[in-house]
């Protein structure tokens, strides 16, 4: 009988342990497979983008990505140049008292004000948040993607389809990420590729520049440093408060004062800097560093040609007059004369803030407001807010076509809006004189058309159903004015007003200004001629009486008593007295404006008054005086 041999395990491990080791290996392999599957599904879009586009189809897809990149870069530039907006907020016009509209026209580019005073004198802010910027950038890219062209590939037999895009945008400090969800299929012969998500990252400082812009804006709202510089300019370049030793009146031309202020504001605003350049500034220049510290170059711009408003009181038309003290009766004992003056100014003008990075610029305008020689009050809440769309403007549901022409039926490219019940909604801009767009329904509203070189025109229109609206605009002509008195040329002081019931009134302060902008229409032309005078209105005292409540028992029962007091009016010198003029209703034809260079106005003269009675008589005589108007 054979003996059985023994099994020898040189490794020292039992069979059970060996099986357990094999099981562990299987588990590790299973985990690896599951992990790979999870990673595959999580990253499948990137894998497809990188892998599934065959080499022969890759040029088409690269062209699509280039279209996205180029359009994204354009959108970022528009965002920076328009104060963080691509789609501008609802336009709000200014007024004669408040010149700011809701946008600053900078080299033909409209930029929404971050802070301005509306036409009805209400302070408004329209600062975009980053969310608004991201949404508008995404909408802009969606619209541009629809226009991506593949003409050269169609000729080569490619079949290309791009679905409706939906873009999400993330603005970071030094880049902007675009994620475009749009199904794109590319095929030719037997090769096909399908890509659903496309990611593009643009190197851009727009996020950082925006943060600096908000910091500068909030610093201005908290400290009003631009207004404080404006007050300094006002007191340096205009008569505000003072006394001069002389016995003749002090006279300033308000228009000359305003022009000097505009020049000074323009140059001094440009001199303002931020702390980034403070180390290189000498001691004398540090006045122009208001204390803002941002990591970018900043420029503050103003132009004398931008819309602004300057007012001063007391004034006599365009004349600032201060009479001497010491020449009046009873003051001869002083032994000298002096002229005190105090004028109160209101100034409103824009400042454009430009923040520049290495290759990009972000800019936004603000309105500087000075009232009564002092800065406006600082706003309590100056954080970024979303601009609300008026409820009426969000309910555009009726299609209408607006056609805009001049008097010769030539089409005009104009901005069209619709006004109803105090709310104005922007409709759009005409192309070749026409725009077809949705209007909000309203009864007795107005279609408003504005265009450079033409009068603003309103057309009554009730939006109740689809219709066509024709608007005819009157062209504005710039004409020279020549004033004559009794048939002779006059170069002295006068005011000439062309008053229109349609709101197109103009006033010429003669002879400082000898031009007027007119369009066809009915005007009442009024002329007041002034000549140098030494007419003195003597000092007088007037007694005024008013009823005031009685004290004691009488007051308890509601009885009043008369209380009188005296008001002293000092003597006054009338340096410019009314000495001619008249008025005339006149319909100005476009043919007269088109075929002439000069508007000649001839008025009758009046005697130079030597007494207050004669001055009053001149005003009475003027009411019956006409005038002659000749276009030549």
Query: 605, exposed or middle or buried, with CB in 10 Å at 0-12, 13-18, 19+?
Result: middle
* Secondary structure element (H or E) that encloses residue 419, with its range: strand 415-420
How much is the average pLDDT of 255-280?
A: 83
CA nearest neighbour of 209 among 69, 78, 363: 363
pLDDT of 46 reads 46
Q: Residue ranges of the domains in the chain?
A: 48-89+126-204, 207-375, 392-472, 477-631
pLDDT at 373 over 80: yes
How much is the average pLDDT of 502-518?
A: 82
Predicted TM-score (pTM) of the model is: 0.55
pLDDT at 43 over 70: no
Mean pLDDT, all residues of the chain: 81
Phi first, then psi, for residue 271 (nearest 5°) are -80, -15
How much is the average pLDDT of 242-252?
A: 74
pLDDT of 232 reads 93
* Secondary structure element (H or E) that encloses residue 425, with its range: strand 423-429
Do 137 and 109 touch, CB atoms closer than 8 A? no
Between 279 and 542, residue with greater pLDDT: 542
Any idea what the Cα angle at residue 503 is, between residues 501 and 509, rounded to 5°?
100
What is the secondary structure of 347-413 as a DSSP string?
Answer: EEEEEEEEEE-SS-EEEEEEEEEEETTEEPPPPS--S--PPPPPTGGG-EEEEEEEEEE-TT--B--
pLDDT digits (tens, 9 = 90+) for 402-451: 999 998 899 999 999 998 876 788 888 999 999 999 998 888 889 999 99
Do 491 and 565 touch, CB atoms closer than 8 A? no
Q: Which residues of 544-575 are buried (b: 16+ CB within 10 A; e: fewer)?
A: eeeeeeeeeeeeeeeeeeeeeeeeeeebebbb
Token pair, residue 144, equals 């541009």
Between 155 and 26, residue with greater pLDDT: 155
Cβ atoms < 10 Å from Cβ of 100: 28
Between 603 and 320, residue with greater pLDDT: 603
How much is the average pLDDT of 592-598?
A: 92
CA nearest neighbour of 187 among 40, 2, 61: 61
Do 237 and 256 touch, CB atoms closer than 8 A? no
Cβ atoms < 10 Å from Cβ of 71: 21
Q: Rounded to an integer, what is the distance from CA 68 to the centroid of its chain?
A: 31
pLDDT digits (tens, 9 = 90+) for 45-97: 444 444 468 888 999 999 999 999 999 999 999 999 999 999 998 887 776 56
pLDDT of 550 reads 62
Token pair, residue 368, equals 């500087």
CA distances from 492 to 255, 511, 578, 580 (A): 15, 6, 12, 11
pLDDT at 556 over 60: no
Between 509 and 204, residue with greater pLDDT: 204
pLDDT at 578 over 90: no
CATH of 392-472, one of 2.60.40.1120, 3.90.870.10, 2.60.40.10, 2.130.10.30: 2.60.40.1120
Q: Rounded to an integer, what is the distance from CA 330 to the centroid of its chain?
A: 55
């Amino acid at each position: 009988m054979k003996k059985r041999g023994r099994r020898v395990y040189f490794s020292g491990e039992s069979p059970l342990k060996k099986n357990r080791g094999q099981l562990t290996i299987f588990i590790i392999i299973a985990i690896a497979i599951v992990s790979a599957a999870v990673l595959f599904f999580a990253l499948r879009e990137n894998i497809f983008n990188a892998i599934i586009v065959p080499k022969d189809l890759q040029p088409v897809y690269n062209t699509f990505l280039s279209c996205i990149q180029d359009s994204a870069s354009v959108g970022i530039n528009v965002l920076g140049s328009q104060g963080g907006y691509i789609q501008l907020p609802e336009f709000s016009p200014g007024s004669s008292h408040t010149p700011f509209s809701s946008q600053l026209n900078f080299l033909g580019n409209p930029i929404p004000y971050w802070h301005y005073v509306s036409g009805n004198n209400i302070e408004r802010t329209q600062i975009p948040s980053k969310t608004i910027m991201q949404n508008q950038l995404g909408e802009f890219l969606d619209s541009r993607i629809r226009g991506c062209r593949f003409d050269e590939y169609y000729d080569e037999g490619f079949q290309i389809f791009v679905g409706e895009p939906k873009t999400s945008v993330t603005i970071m400090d030094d880049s902007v990420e675009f994620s475009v969800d749009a199904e794109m299929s590319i095929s030719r012969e037997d090769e096909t590729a399908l890509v659903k998500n496309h990611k593009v990252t643009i190197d851009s400082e727009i996020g950082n520049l925006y943060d600096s812009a908000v910091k500068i804006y909030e610093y201005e709202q908290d400290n009003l440093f631009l207004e404080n510089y404006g007050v300094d300019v006002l007191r340096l370049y205009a008569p505000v408060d003072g006394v001069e030793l002389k016995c003749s009146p002090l006279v300033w031309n308000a228009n000359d004062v305003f022009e000097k202020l505009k020049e000074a504001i323009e140059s001094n605003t440009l001199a303002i800097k931020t702390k980034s350049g403070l180390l290189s500034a000498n001691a004398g220049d540090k006045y122009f560093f208001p204390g803002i510290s941002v990591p970018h170059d900043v420029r503050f711009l103003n132009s004398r040609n931008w819309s602004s408003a300057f007012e001063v009181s007391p004034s006599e038309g365009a004349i600032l007059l201060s009479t001497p003290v010491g020449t009046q009766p009873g003051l001869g004992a002083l032994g000298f004369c002096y002229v005190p003056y105090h004028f109160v100014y209101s100034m409103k003008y824009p400042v454009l803030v430009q923040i520049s990075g290495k290759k990009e610029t972000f800019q936004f305008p603000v309105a500087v407001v000075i009232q009564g020689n002092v800065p406006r009050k600082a706003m309590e809440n100056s954080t970024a807010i979303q601009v609300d769309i008026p409820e009426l403007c969000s309910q555009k549901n009726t299609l209408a076509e607006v056609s805009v022409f001049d008097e010769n039926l030539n089409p005009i490219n104009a901005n069209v809006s619709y006004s109803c019940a105090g709310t104005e909604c922007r409709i759009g801009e005409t192309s070749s004189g026409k725009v077809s767009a949705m209007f909000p329904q309203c009864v007795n509203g107005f279609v408003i058309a504005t265009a450079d070189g033409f009068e603003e025109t309103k057309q009554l229109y009730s939006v109740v159903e689809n219709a066509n609206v024709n608007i005819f605009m009157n062209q504005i002509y710039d004409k020279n004015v020549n004033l004559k008195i009794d048939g002779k040329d006059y170069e002295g002081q006068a005011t000439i007003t062309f008053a229109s019931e349609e709101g197109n009134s103009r006033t010429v302060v003669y002879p400082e200004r000898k031009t007027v902008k007119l369009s066809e229409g009915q005007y009442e032309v009024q002329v007041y001629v002034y000549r140098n005078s030494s007419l003195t209105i003597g000092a007088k005292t007037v007694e005024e009486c008013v009823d005031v409540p009685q004290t004691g028992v009488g007051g308890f029962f509601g009885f009043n008593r008369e209380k009188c007091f005296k008001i002293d009016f000092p003597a006054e010198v009338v340096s410019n007295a009314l000495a001619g003029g008249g008025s005339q209703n006149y319909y100005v034809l476009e043919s007269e404006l088109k075929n002439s260079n000069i508007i000649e106005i001839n008025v009758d003269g009046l005697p130079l008054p030597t007494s207050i009675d004669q001055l009053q008589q001149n005003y009475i005589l003027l009411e019956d005086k006409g005038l002659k108007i000749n276009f030549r």
